[in-house]
Amino acid sequence: MGYETLSFEESDGIATITLNRGGHNRISMRMVRDLTAVCNHLEDHSDAKVVAFRGSGGTFSEGMDFEDFDPKVPLDIHGFNKWEKCCTRLERLPKATVALVDGPAVGGGFQIALACDLRIATSRASFQLPETHLGFLPGMATFRLAKYVGLGHAKRIMLTAEVVDSGTAATLGIVDRIDNDLDAGLAWAVEALGPNHSVAVELTRRLLNESFHTAYENAIGHFLAAQHRAISQTAFLDTLKKERGD
């Protein structure tokens, strides 16, 4: 595949992306390109129904790689834009996504986890958005985190750069399950996601992601359009046949 910063494997309907870069899996532009290429592959060529994200070497990711900024080049916003687009691609994959977090998930690492449908963490896992203490912003975690934890917790986590341990993260609703055996955690997720019909997953997730900033009058129209798409799929037609005993 030619990924430099991550490894990718796919078997039994599960695609696993392991962030794998020296220096605690920090996110470089190369990693952004690799993640985007993985999204292309998953959308175009993969039969996997579940996509898992992991980190190698006991760290999920320590966040943005500052070494990646060339001192000879004036700073601009375009790299940040590419990164956020990458997160949106991950968030909208036509497959269920699971973050398997061991060790620190910092900055962009935390954001990858937030972009996933489920988050499973070991007791060693921690979550942190230290950006404001470093003089910049915690990306579109500013958009995502409050939806998980509420505005108050989100402000505290971002403005105090608090290291949220996995127990607290589970209490706050960031982590769905704590399991020191992440393989077992993933097996639980695959089982729990059940038949995992991709159109139903994709549209339910989209409506949820849009729910905080959509007026009910608009949301009901979106729901009806999405529901019509879902009931036109073979998954629902098969359910009907089964339930009616056709």
Partner 1 sequence: MLDTRPRLLSVGTAHPPEGYSQEDLVARYDVPDPRIRSLFKSAHIMNRYLYLPEANEDGVPDESQGELLEKHRRGAMEIGPQAVKRCLDPMEMGVEDIDYLCCITTTGFMAPGLTAHLIKEMGFREDCARVDIVGMGCNAGLNGLNPVVNWAMANPGKNALMVCMEVCSAAYVFDGTMRTAIVNSLFGDGSAAVLVRTDPKDDKRFAGKVLGFNSQIIPPAIGAMRYEWDGEQSKFSFFLDRDIPYVVGANAEKPVDRLLEAHGLKRRDISHWIVHSGGKKVIDAIKYNVGITEHDVRHTTSVLRDFGNLSSGSFLFSYQRLMDEGVVRRGDYGVLMTMGPGSTIETALVRW
Which residues of the shown chain bind partner 1 in the complex (CB under 8 A)? 40, 43-44, 89, 92, 202-203, 206, 210, 217, 221-222, 224-226, 228-229, 232
Structural tokens at position 178: 């704590």
Minimum distance, C-beta of residue 88 to partner 1, in the bound complex (Å)? 9
Minimum distance, C-beta of residue 51 to partner 1, in the bound complex (Å)? 16
Residue with tokens 């949106």: 88
Burial 122-145 (b: 16+ CB within 10 A, else e): beebbbbbbbeeeeeebbbbeebb
Minimum distance, C-beta of residue 205 to partner 1, in the bound complex (Å)? 12
124/206 with CB nearer partner 1:
206
51/121 with CB nearer partner 1:
51
157 Cβ neighbours under 8 A, 6+ residues apart: 127, 128, 129, 145, 149, 164
CA distances from 64 to 27, 72, 111, 129, 178 (A): 5, 19, 11, 11, 25
36/132 with CB nearer partner 1:
36
Q: Report the C-alpha gap between 197 and 88 in whole angstroms.
A: 20
176/202 with CB nearer partner 1:
202
Would you say 20 and 54 are in contact if contact means Cβ atoms under 8 Å apart? Answer: no
Minimum distance, C-beta of residue 81 to partner 1, in the bound complex (Å)? 12
Q: In what order do the strands lie in the sheet with 6-11?
A: 6-11, 14-19, 50-55, 96-101, 118-121, 177-178
30/229 with CB nearer partner 1:
229
- Reduced to 3 states (helix: H, G, I; strand: E, B; else coil), residue 120 is strand
Minimum distance, C-beta of residue 115 to partner 1, in the bound complex (Å)? 16
Minimum distance, C-beta of residue 98 to partner 1, in the bound complex (Å)? 22
Q: Report the C-alpha gap between 115 and 144 in whole angstroms.
A: 8
